[in-house]
Amino acid sequence: MNRSRTAPDTILYGGPILTMEEGASDVQAVAISGEHIQALGHREEIFASRGSDTQLVDLEGRTLLPGLIEPHTHPDLCAQCYAWIDVSGFTHPTVEGVEAALRKAISKANPGEWLFAFGLDPMLTENVGTWDRHRLDLLAPENPLVVMIQSMHTLFVNSLALREAGVDESSPDPPGGGRFCRDSDGRLNGKVEEVSAALRFLRFHDSSKEALREGIWKQYGRYARAGLTTIGMPGMFVALEMLDVFQELARRDDLPVRMVAYLRHHQVGHVDWKPGDGDDRFRIQGVKLWYDGSPYSGTMLIDDPYEKSRLCCCTLGIPAGTTGRANFDPTELRELILDLHRQGWQVLTHAQGDRGTREILDFYEQALEAHDRKDHRWRLEHCALISPEDLERAARLGVTPSFHVNHIYYYGPELRDDILGSTRAEKLMPLGTALRAGHRVSLHADSPMYPPEPFRLIRTATTRKTRHGEELASHEALTPLEALRAVTLDAAWQLFAEDSIGSLAPGKLADLTIVDENPLTIKPDRLDEISVSETWLGGRPTRATTG
């Protein structure tokens, strides 16, 4: 035990304490001084250091963890999308509920008013059917209407939205992988794919700075109630002026979560921020790229075509023979990554498919060989399909994967039966292979795509079970301890924050998550039933979890 000359402000005891530190066994109490952990050890030793003003907190059998971490989530998108019409599969099990929600909002709108809906889900909502401009025209003949699917890579818009956005039959697809999709006759069908095309419509969403500030703060509370104390925001979607808002929120005494933020590549030249600027509450660390897209829009870049199924061809609108696409010109991307590397940025790239991850690793390798820099910790985001060979190559290059593992839980049956087929589905989210290749991995939910739910991430990583209870690629399962590391210490390492958070150790920030059951002793099938009692940030309980 490390003794201090001053008495601690707080001592927590009375329940299992999982430090996530090697060799730190039989810890019975934690002493906190100010914002930091002062000491850990046996109860008698820690109690001997207390003073007359030391607060004693009895866990009463609850389990104390280091504050949980999600390195890939979007509080700015959550602030926007959760304010839209809710048409999600989490809310509406049938398409009748989706259409009723849209009709209700449309009936209250003024003619010409833009309407936005979020969460259309062809997997979780039954009988979604085909969506296009004509279906939306019938629903909203007097209002521009935009419906975003749950995976966020596809919009459906009506004819008024196309007209108001200035998109007509002669409009070219924008650079950056975006596409205004067309029917078999070559006419616009109202389907819009990927960010660069979607922005033509999203710019009409009127989000004041005050509304975004309020929405982001609400999302911070959702993170805390899920047990998270630190998040990574890969790619800022709101205006650069919102950097001031993130800093302002980070200065609040009742801040419930820390943030490590990543710019989009075209924003780098418009800010004075440099890699690592900020503090332990809000820091800019790197740059986010999107190399490919989503399996649910057919834009995930894969070696072999998507399945010829009714879900693909008719509901998702993925033509036969589709293998996805890259969002960058190769020459431009090569120069971009090398330039970011020279400037010292940590580079994160959205790469889902086997071909997508392989090709972005090629670009990474070229840049890393051209300009040597130690400990860059570049990342691959989502990694739905990545080969064992590429995981080994990534480890050699110092590139680390973050897995969007709840694709297996929520959409595993459809990925197996309708989108990728059973053979490729057995290669999904190869967490076990990544660990065997020497990686430190993390897990994420990518809100607003899925809710922030770290214990469901842990359950999926350990059981590999879908929402129907079937196992998918069970040979890639992690142990509960490995999965817990992926949302604590290893996630902190990916954020360049392992010296201050991610485990319980003297000198680290006293960010804590207190839960009702021990994730290392509970049955794995019940991991997602663990209830978060409190989170603490810098030695104090957060109001988001204590009221």
CB 442, CB 491: distance < 8 Å: yes
- What per-residue confidence (pLDDT) applies to 4? 46
Q: Domain check: are 282 and 193 in the same one?
A: no
Token code pair at residue 469: 């209870």
Q: Domain check: are 191 and 304 in the same one?
A: no
Residue 384 covered by a domain: yes
- What's 391's domain CATH number? 3.20.20.140
Number of CB atoms found within 10 A of residue 277's CB = 12
Nearest to 78 by CA among 226, 294, 196, 191: 226
Report the C-alpha gap between 47 and 51 in whole angstroms: 9
- What's 156's domain CATH number? 3.10.310.70
Report the C-alpha gap between 179 and 456 in whole angstroms: 34
Q: Domain check: are 198 and 295 in the same one?
A: no
CB 213, CB 247: distance < 8 Å: no
Which runs of consecutive H residues, i.e. helices, occur in 41-94? 43-47, 75-81
CB 180, CB 173: distance < 8 Å: yes
Q: Domain check: are 299 and 397 in the same one?
A: yes
Token code pair at residue 241: 């002026």
Q: How confident is the prediction along the chain (547 residues), in pLDDT tens digits per residue?
A: 344 469 999 999 999 999 999 877 789 999 999 999 999 999 999 999 999 999 999 999 999 999 999 999 999 999 999 999 999 999 999 999 999 999 999 999 999 999 999 999 999 999 999 999 999 999 999 999 999 999 898 999 999 999 999 999 999 999 888 999 999 889 999 999 988 899 999 988 877 888 899 999 999 999 999 999 999 999 988 888 889 999 999 999 999 999 999 999 999 999 999 999 999 999 999 999 999 999 999 999 999 999 999 999 989 989 999 999 999 999 999 999 999 999 999 999 999 999 999 999 999 999 999 988 889 999 999 999 999 999 999 999 999 999 999 999 999 999 999 999 999 999 999 999 999 999 999 999 999 999 999 999 999 999 999 999 999 999 999 999 999 999 999 999 999 999 999 999 999 999 999 999 999 999 999 999 999 999 999 999 999 998 7
What are the CB-based long-range contacts (under 8 Å, 24+) for 250-254?
Answer: 250/279, 250/281, 250/282, 251/281, 254/542, 254/543
Of 179, 202, 225, the position where a domain reaches its end is 202
Q: Domain check: are 181 and 287 in the same one?
A: no
- What per-residue confidence (pLDDT) applies to 61? 98
Residue 208 covered by a domain: no
Q: Domain check: are 269 and 198 in the same one?
A: no
Coil, strand, or helix at residue 160? Answer: helix
Q: Domain check: are 281 and 156 in the same one?
A: no
Nearest to 71 by CA among 231, 280, 250, 281: 231
Coil, strand, or helix at residue 323? Answer: coil
Residue 480 covered by a domain: yes
CB 502, CB 492: distance < 8 Å: yes
Residue 182 covered by a domain: yes
CA distances from 276 to 16, 378, 460 (A): 35, 14, 33
- Give the chain's length: 547
Residue found under tokens 């998507």: 306
Identity of the amino acid at 513: T
Q: Which residues contact 413 (CB under 8 A, 6 or more apart)?
A: 123, 466, 467, 468, 470
Q: Domain check: are 382 and 480 in the same one?
A: yes
Angle at CA 82, nearest 5°, toward 174 and 232? 75
Of 501, 520, 541, the position where a domain reaches its end is 501
CB 127, CB 111: distance < 8 Å: no
Of 186, 202, 218, the position where a domain reaches its end is 202
Residue 37 covered by a domain: no
- What per-residue confidence (pLDDT) applies to 267? 94
Report the C-alpha gap between 134 and 153 in whole angstroms: 20
CB 31, CB 8: distance < 8 Å: yes
Judged on CB neighbours under 10 Å (0-12, 13-18, 19+), 443 is: buried
Q: Domain check: are 494 and 394 in the same one?
A: yes
Residue 9 covered by a domain: no
CB 268, CB 351: distance < 8 Å: no
Number of CB atoms found within 10 A of residue 163's CB = 12
Residue 506 covered by a domain: no
CB 420, CB 295: distance < 8 Å: yes
Token code pair at residue 362: 């090629």
Report the C-alpha gap between 330 and 335 in whole angstroms: 9
Report the C-alpha gap between 13 and 59 in whole angstroms: 6
Residue 546 covered by a domain: no
Q: Domain check: are 299 and 441 in the same one?
A: yes
Q: Is the pTM of this model over 0.75?
A: yes
Nearest to 114 by CA among 87, 135, 145, 138: 145
CB 359, CB 391: distance < 8 Å: no
Report the C-alpha gap between 344 and 327 in whole angstroms: 23
Report the C-alpha gap between 457 and 478 in whole angstroms: 11
- What per-residue confidence (pLDDT) applies to 98? 97
CB 139, CB 161: distance < 8 Å: no
Q: Domain check: are 270 and 198 in the same one?
A: no
CB 49, CB 3: distance < 8 Å: yes
Report the C-alpha gap between 292 and 302 in whole angstroms: 9
Q: Domain check: are 284 and 189 in the same one?
A: no
Coil, strand, or helix at residue 439? Answer: coil
Number of CB atoms found within 10 A of residue 75's CB = 28
Report the C-alpha gap between 52 and 474 in whole angstroms: 53
Residue found under tokens 């993925």: 318
Count structural domains, the chain.
Answer: 2
Longest dimension (CA), the chain: 80
Range of the domain at 492: 265-501
- What per-residue confidence (pLDDT) applies to 5? 62
